[in-house]
Chain A
Amino acid sequence: MKYMLLINSAGTEEAEQACEASAEDWMAYDKAVREAGIYVDAHSLADLTTATTVRVNAGGERVVTDGPFAETREVLGGYYVIDVPDLDVALDWAARCPGATGGGSVVVRPIAEFEV
C-alpha cells in the first residue's frame, strides 16, 4: 500500500530557522527509507516565494497569480511516497521523518487505488 508523506514546515521563518533539522538528519532519513526498500518517490520543494498559482475561470480564461503566500501556519515543503504494509508502518516512518519535529508536521495520505 502506497502512502504519501506530506512534509509541512512551521510557517514562520523564525520557527523554521530555530527548529530546522540538519542536512545530516535528512540524509540519514533518506538513506533509511531507501535501505528499507519502501522508497517510491520523494522531492523537496523550492521556497514558497517561487510559487505561482493558475486558475481557469468559467469563461475558459487563464488567471495566473503570484503565490500563494504563507497565510496558513504550515507550508508544504516536500514529500515522500513510500510503499508499506499498513498505516501503522506508515505512521512509524512519518514519526522518524525530520520534518515531523520542531514545529513541523507530516500528513500521511494513502494513495488512492483504482481497480481496473
Chain B
Amino acid sequence: MTGASAEDVAAVFREERGRLLAALVRRFGDLDLAEEVTSEAVEAALVRWPADGVPPKPGAWLMTTARRRAVDRLRRDKAYAARLALLQVEADRAAPAAGGGELPDERLQLFFTCAHPALNADDRVALTLRCLAGLATPQVARAFLVPEATMAKRIVRAKKKIREARVPFRAPDPEELPARLPGVLQVIYSIFTEGYAASAGPDLQRPGLAEEAIRLARILRRLLPAEREVAGLLGLMLLIHARRDARTGPDGTPILLDEQDRSRWDRTMIEEGLRLVPVALTGGPPGPYGVQAAIAALHDEAADVATTDWPQIVALYDVLLALAPSPIVELNRAVAVALRDGPEAGLALLDALAGEPRLRGYAPYPAARGDLLRRLGRLPGAAAAYREALAWAGTEPERAHLRRRLADLTCPFTVPAPGAGENTLDQKPADLI
C-alpha cells in the first residue's frame, strides 16, 4: 500500500477511536490509561501510516499498539500492575477473544458510563464528546464556549469520580434499560440542541455539534437497533438539521419557518428522517423523541406554512404533553393552535403560561406573544413583548431579528396584511425533562 495522507489517517482515527477506547477501558478498567494509550497509538499511526500506508485492519493495528503501550506502562507502575493481573483475569473470563482480529464493539458500555446519572449533567456531555465522538478537550471547550482550562477541569473531575466512586463500565440489563436509556439520549440531544440553537455567543448555529450528535445517534442506533426511541431521536435530529441552510440569512439572523426557502432544505436528510418516524412510532407506545420526530416530519413534508397539517401537529403536541409535560411544549403547542384556530386562541394559551417559572428568561416565549399580538393589531403590546424577548435573547442574531421586528412595528407601512407574513416559531428543540 502507498502512503496515506494525514487526513486519511485522521478520518480512520475518528471512526476507530471510540471503539478502541471502549475496548481498552473494558480490558484495563481505567479510563485515564485507556485514553493515554489510545492517544499514543494514534500518534504512532500518524508517524507510521503516511510512510507505510494504512494497514488492512487499522482498528486491530491501533489496538495492538495501544495494548503494548498499556502493558509497558503497567510494568513501570506497580500499583497498576497489581490491578492489571486482576482485571486481565476478569476481562478474559467475561469476553472470550474475538476471532478475525477485528475489535468487538464495546462502545455501548462507554455510552452508559459517560452518561451515568451519578455524573454532573455538563460533565456527561463533555465526556461523551471526548470519549465517543473523539473530540479533544480544546475542541469540546470551543464547542461550549468555555475556557479550555474550565473544560479540562470538568473532564478531570468526571474521570476522578468514575475512578474513585467506581462507576462501572457496563451496559444496563434489559430491565434497567428503560430507566437508563433516556439519560444517554438526553446527552446526545443536548449536544444537538447546543449546536442547533446556541444558547449564547455570536453565532446562532454551530452545525459541527449538531453533526456530532447525529453521528453519535447513528452509532447508538447500530448498537441498539431495537430501541425505538433511538430511532426517534435520530429521526428528529435529521428532520430538524435538514433545514440548517434555510434557517439563517446571509447576515446570520434567524429565518423563521414561514419565511424559509424550503428548496434549500436537505431532501436526502429529510428522506432518511422520514423513514425513521414509522420505526419510532410502531411496535409499542410512542416515546417523546418519536412524537417530536413526527411533528418535525409534518413540517418537513409541507410545501408551506398555510398547507401544514396544523390539526395533526396540535394532536401530536397533546400526545407529547401527556408523555413529557413541559411549559416549553405548551408554548410550542400554543403556537400550533394559533395557526390552526387563529391568533386569538393561541394568545389565550400563551397568556395562561405567564406564571411559569421555566419560561422566565426564555426569549421564545415573549417573542411568540409579540408575534400573535402583532397579528391581532395590538401593536403597543407587541412592542412590549418584543422588548422583553430582546432582553432575554442569548445570541446576537436573535437580538438583531427581534430589533427588526420591533422596528417594523413602528413603521405604519409594514403592518402585515391579514394572513400574510404569518410568523411561526421555528420548531426549537427544547429539553423535555
Contact = CB atoms under 8 A, between A and B. Distances in A.
B79 A87 contact: no
B165 interface: yes
Contact of B168 (A88, A108, A115): A88
A21 interface: no
A31 B167 CA distance: 26
Interface string B111-140: 000001010000000000000000000000
A9 to B, nearest CB: 22
Nearest to B168: A86
B278 to A, nearest CB: 35
Residue of A86, A112, A115 most packed against chain B (CB within 10 A) = A86
A91 B118 contact: yes
Interface in B150-183: 164-168, 170
Chain A's interface size range is 10 to 19
Interface string A69-86: 000000000000000011
A115 B166 contact: no
B118 A1 contact: no
A94 to B, nearest CB: 11
A83 to B, nearest CB: 12
A110 interface: yes
Nearest to B112: A88
A112 B164 CA distance: 8
Residue of A86, A87, A108 most packed against chain B (CB within 10 A) = A87
Contacts of A88: 167-168, 170
Given A87-B118, A91-B118, A1 B79 contact: no
Interface in B50-80: 79
A91 B166 CA distance: 11
A114 to B, nearest CB: 12
Given A87-B118, A91-B118, A115-B79, A110 B168 contact: no
Contact of B164 (A91, A108, A110, A115): A110
Nearest to A3: B165
A88 B79 CA distance: 24
Contacts of A115: 79
Nearest to A115: B79
Contacts of B166: 1, 85-87, 110
A115 B164 CA distance: 13
Contacts of B116: 87
A110 B167 CA distance: 11
Interface in A57-116: 85-88, 91, 108, 110, 112, 115
Contacts of B168: 85-88
A110 B165 contact: yes
A92 to B, nearest CB: 9
A92 B174 CA distance: 15
B23 to A, nearest CB: 19
Contacts of A85: 166, 168
A30 to B, nearest CB: 24
Interface in A39-71: none
Interface of B: 79, 116, 118, 164-168, 170
Given A86-B166, A86-B167, 12 more contacts: A1-B166, A85-B168, A86-B168, A87-B166, A87-B168, A88-B167, A88-B168, A88-B170, A91-B118, A108-B165, A110-B164, A110-B166
22 contacts: A1-B166, A85-B166, A85-B168, A86-B166, A86-B167, A86-B168, A87-B116, A87-B118, A87-B165, A87-B166, A87-B167, A87-B168, A88-B167, A88-B168, A88-B170, A91-B118, A108-B165, A110-B164, A110-B165, A110-B166, A112-B164, A115-B79
In the A-B complex, list the 4 residue pairs whose CB atoms are closest, starting with the nearest: A86-B168, A86-B166, A110-B165, A87-B167
